[in-house]
Amino acid sequence: MTALFVTVGIMFAADDPFQQHGKLRVSTSKTHLEHADGTPFFFLADTCWTGPALSKTAADWQTYLDDRKAKRFSAVQFNMLSPWRTAPTDADGNTSYRIVDGQLIPNETFYRRLDQRIKAINDAGLLAVPVLCWANSRLDPGKTLTEAQIADVVRFQFRRYEKMNALWILAGDTGYRQDAELWKRVGRAVFGTKPDALVTTHPDGENFPWTSDRWVDETWLNVWGYQSGHGDSDKTLRWLTNGPVAEYGRRGQYSRPVINLEPPYEAHNGYASGKPHPPLHVRRAVYWSLLNAPPAGVTYGGHGVWSWHTKPGEHPTGHHGTGPAPHWREGLKHPGSAQMTQVRNLFESLPWTELRPAPELVHDQPGVADPKKFVASAATLDRKTTVFYFPPETVQALVPNLGPNDSFFWFDPRTGQRQTDIGFRPEPKEDWVLVMQRR
């Protein structure tokens, strides 16, 4: 491929965690990410797929980053290429590339805009999480380009931004089934000689292809990604609570960190009900995801923000049925985004890197009869810290059974408040987290 590209140099702010602690790597336990000095990194990404392309001004983009930084997000997940079905072009009408006589030529004007947006992510001390090639619909590059063209554009983007702090998503929303060998070849060609690069994938919904031994030897792929998606049927809930991800979590031996890259988006219509997902659905999926496998992190998405929506009341481009979306500025105010602050605050107050799924601690699991009532549990191997997540209507009869060296607190996932009074009774119509600790 003949094309101009420039490696972008990133200047970091004095309080940048990557400057303080170094680049990210996979921990020796293979359960989470950590900095070069061993400091654990709690992955909490906001989803803004089309933000870098569609944000009109650098000031708009900075408004978004300031909000997410204030809410303690540690990463921003976005899509690099246009056209794709939600963003045929960037805000100025540019596409990422053009095809001339079968050859893919990157559009330098498009990438100069992306340079600025990605630099701003890292300058804010946030991890960049770019999808290098969306591959779901017939309008997406992963379907319209040849394998050689896909490899060219993926390689071009990686080389251009190689020095930034990033977790690379090779392809978004594909099944990794009939096209598995294609993506393996592209992954090897681009990342096979780059062992320090963190690379994951974003399969389509309710799909965890990494249970297949065919992927274990793909060493360039060092983080398992999945999406539980936007379904709200019992089938979807059981997939998340008792499906292949939970089975992986119960193994006790792990080959990669596991991250849910797309739980249900707040205010996005549920696939079964057709009704917007409330904050409860988001919290429930987040805590289930973190406790059903060794916690590495999770992502959040808010309707209107993921698509960088500017026409309130309309459905996002190419996603009719997801529901009328607010302007992205209004979408920043979804209450669930602030509740993600409490997720990170809670886990970072605990020995979270040592937590492992402990479903045996839940007796008479209410989720067997009703998946909405699945109680998730995790504990450190020495059982000094145990965490339970209780959906609504599952805590009525529960009183902590404490020994002389035990302590506990009820955690309100909406406000972050903690209750340590043994006489406290959680409101049964709400969801709660219980943390028990032994000295």
- Each domain of the chain, given as residue ranges in start order, spans 17-353, 358-438
Rounded-to-integer distance, Cα 110 and Cα 94, Å: 6
Q: Which residues of 110-140 are buried (b: 16+ CB within 10 A; e: fewer)?
A: bbebbbebbbbbbebbbbbbbbbbbbbeeeb
Rounded-to-integer distance, Cα 32 and Cα 133, Å: 25
Rounded-to-integer distance, Cα 69 and Cα 74, Å: 7
The amino acid at residue 287 is Y
53 CB contacts (<8 Å, ≥6 apart)?
79, 82, 87, 89, 90, 91, 110, 113, 114, 308
Give Dmax (Cα) for the chain.
76
Q: Token digits for 254?
A: 């792990």
pTM of the predicted model, to two decimals? 0.95
Residue 229 sits at φ, ψ, to 5 deg, of 80, -170
Q: First CA to last CA across the chain, in angstroms? A: 61
Which residue is listed with tokens 């929506």?
309
Chain mean position to CA 257? 12
Rounded-to-integer distance, Cα 305 and Cα 430, Å: 26
Q: Token digits for 416?
A: 């972050």
- The reported pLDDT for the residue numbered 403 is 78
Residue 376 sits at φ, ψ, to 5 deg, of -95, 145
Helix (H) or strand (E) holding 259: strand 258-260
- The reported pLDDT for the residue numbered 9 is 46
Rounded-to-integer distance, Cα 162 and Cα 6, Å: 10
DSSP 8-state assignment for residue 260: E
Q: Token digits for 71?
A: 């809410």
- The reported pLDDT for the residue numbered 213 is 77
Residue 407 sits at φ, ψ, to 5 deg, of -140, 165
Q: Are 175 and 204 spatial neighbours (Cβ–Cβ below 8 Å)? A: yes
Q: Which residue ranges in the chain fall short of pLDDT 70?
A: 1-14, 397-400
- The reported pLDDT for the residue numbered 397 is 59
Q: Token digits for 412?
A: 């309100």
> Strand, helix or coil at 173?
strand
Query: Is 3.40.50.2300 the CATH number for 17-353?
Result: no
- The reported pLDDT for the residue numbered 54 is 98
Q: Which among 118, 122, 101, 102 is positioned nearest to 110, based on CA atoms?
A: 118
> Strand, helix or coil at 201?
strand
The strand pairing partners of 103, in sequence order, are 100
Q: Token digits for 403?
A: 């020994």
- The reported pLDDT for the residue numbered 211 is 83
- The reported pLDDT for the residue numbered 177 is 85
